[in-house]
Amino acid sequence: MSKALDGVRILDFTHVQSGPTCTQLLAWLGADVIKVERAGVGDATRGQLCDIPGVDSLYFTMLNHNKRSITLDTKNPKGKQVLDALIKQCDVLVENFAPGALDRMGITWQHIEQINPRMIVASVKGFGPGPYEHCKVYENVAQCAGGSASTTGFDDGPPMVTGAQIGDSGTGLHLALGIVAALYQRNSTGRGQKVLAPMQDAVLNLCRVKLRDQQRLERTGTMHEYPQYPDGKFGAAVPRAGNASGGGQPGSILKCKGWETDPNAYIYFITQAAVWPAVCKVIGEKGWIEDEAFATPAARLLHLKPIFSRIEQWTMTKTKFEAMEILNQYDIPCGPILSMKEIAEEPGLRQTGTIVEVEHPTRGKYLTVGNPIKMSDSPTEVMRSPLLGEHTDEVLTQLGYSSSEIAALRAERVI
């Protein structure tokens, strides 16, 4: 079966996590992704957080599926010639180097536009234009500068970063969308363009509800669904809301049976207004259905702590899965706190291709996360990540280099 991005060629100059997330997604959608790495060195993540000595790390393998790898010294004049040949033949160049690195290599926008005016040049940077545009940025810096850390955690604790890699992978996803849109626009304009996804912007986009709350706070001085209401104080900025629900339906994380020994024996429980009578029946508080103090959503906001404490008395008598089964019978929105171990072992996720077992020549079998986007006419087959330079000869041959020319480049350490 064909793939959505069949025929699209990506010159992948990405490294670490943000850029590789983007190009991996494009590869899953069918693009031919050629990852350019420094000869003998490669993407730094190949050797980071290693669990097997001398073998590509899971950090690398899980972010670089379905790509081809070539090694190339792009600062060597002969390497630059190869790079120019690639630029001429590819549709998109994706990079997430430190600000200015591409220009320092001589690969300026003007240079690219001159040799391939149809090329789309897509970049992840830490910040957009402004005082921080020259900064190097990693995940947690973006989480802090994008508003996530100041709004995550508990009110009486410090700002907190989240385990979801919203700065790196989140920005990579934004960039992929920009690239696909630019490819679409090129169909009518015939021209490439620059696409920039700053990590601060992507994190802020994912935190947009908190900027909503900032403005609500400034207008009304309070926010009734936050745990600070009604007893605590609100300051000038949106406070950390613990595990409170981000929307208009109050929710909380509650202990389940076994919580004393299992750190993940918890459930997220949402007291959606539409199912409030069912909640009362399930927990054995039928009187709350008519009781003025609990009958309406506005009244309940004044009593969320005792309400959740009473619901927790019930959830603590059930495992998280038993509670899920009962609550789902009444359409009460809830979700078990799943550990990575439980997710890895979940058969349903294997069946949908969300968790995939991959065979790697030096690592053996490992688990990865498959394509979260499922398309009926463009199925994803997850292929292992390439070894360093595995496709150098193949790609150079496709570019028209003879085997003796390739051997000469190798002897001169250009590839």
Residues annotated as catalytic are 168
DSSP secondary structure letters along 294-350: TSSHHHHHTTHHHHHHHHHHHHTTS-HHHHHHHHHHTT--EEE---HHHHHH-HHHH
- Among residues 142, 334, 143, 157, the alpha carbon closest in space to that of 242 is found at 157
279, β-bridge pairs:
none
- For residue 38, state whether it binds ligand COA (rule: CB under 6 A): yes
Q: How far is the CB of 78 from ligand COA (least distance, A)?
A: 12
Q: Which of residues 247-306 bind ligand COA (CB under 6 A)?
A: none
Q: How far is the CB of 75 from ligand COA (least distance, A)?
A: 4
Cα separations in angstroms, 75 against 16, 98, 261, 398, 402: 20, 16, 56, 22, 22
- Report the residue count for the chain: 415
Q: How far is the CB of 340 from ligand COA (least distance, A)?
A: 20
Among 29, 107, 137, 256, binds ligand COA (CB under 6 A): 137
- For residue 134, state whether it binds ligand COA (rule: CB under 6 A): no
- For residue 391, state whether it binds ligand COA (rule: CB under 6 A): no
Q: How far is the CB of 40 from ligand COA (least distance, A)?
A: 11
Q: How far is the CB of 398 from ligand COA (least distance, A)?
A: 19
> What CA–CA distance (Å, rounded) separates 345 from 350?
8
- For residue 126, state whether it binds ligand COA (rule: CB under 6 A): yes
Tell me whether residue 136 or residue 305 sits nearer to ligand COA (CB atom): 136
150, β-bridge pairs:
none
Tell me whether residue 17 or residue 152 sits nearer to ligand COA (CB atom): 17
- For residue 169, state whether it binds ligand COA (rule: CB under 6 A): no
> What CA–CA distance (Å, rounded) separates 187 from 183?
7
H-helix or E-strand containing 254? Answer: strand 251-255
Q: How far is the CB of 270 from ligand COA (least distance, A)?
A: 33
Helix (H, G, I), strand (E, B) or coil at 398: helix
Of the ranges 69-77, 112-120, 174-182, 202-210, which one interacts with ligand COA (CB under 6 A)?
69-77
Q: How far is the CB of 10 from ligand COA (least distance, A)?
A: 16
Q: Are strands 92-95 and 9-13 parallel, antiparallel or unpaired?
A: parallel
H-helix or E-strand containing 121? Answer: strand 120-125
> What CA–CA distance (Å, rounded) separates 46 from 122?
23
Q: Which amino acid is at 134?
A: H
Of the ranges 46-54, 118-126, 318-326, 385-393, which one interacts with ligand COA (CB under 6 A)?
118-126
Among 52, 101, 373, 383, binds ligand COA (CB under 6 A): 101
> What CA–CA distance (Å, rounded) separates 324 from 18?
35
Tell me whether residue 200 or residue 228 sits nearer to ligand COA (CB atom): 200
Among 124, 203, 238, 358, binds ligand COA (CB under 6 A): 124
Among 57, 64, 66, 96, binds ligand COA (CB under 6 A): 96
Among 97, 276, 308, 314, binds ligand COA (CB under 6 A): 97
- For residue 85, state whether it binds ligand COA (rule: CB under 6 A): no
- For residue 132, state whether it binds ligand COA (rule: CB under 6 A): no
- For residue 73, state whether it binds ligand COA (rule: CB under 6 A): yes
Helix (H, G, I), strand (E, B) or coil at 410: helix
Contacts for 204-209: CB closer than 8 Å, 24+ residues apart: 204/146, 204/147, 205/174, 206/146, 206/148, 206/166, 206/170, 207/146, 207/147, 207/148, 207/151, 209/246, 209/247
Binding region for ligand COA (CB under 6 A)? 16-19, 36, 38, 72-75, 96-98, 101, 104-105, 124-126, 136-138, 168
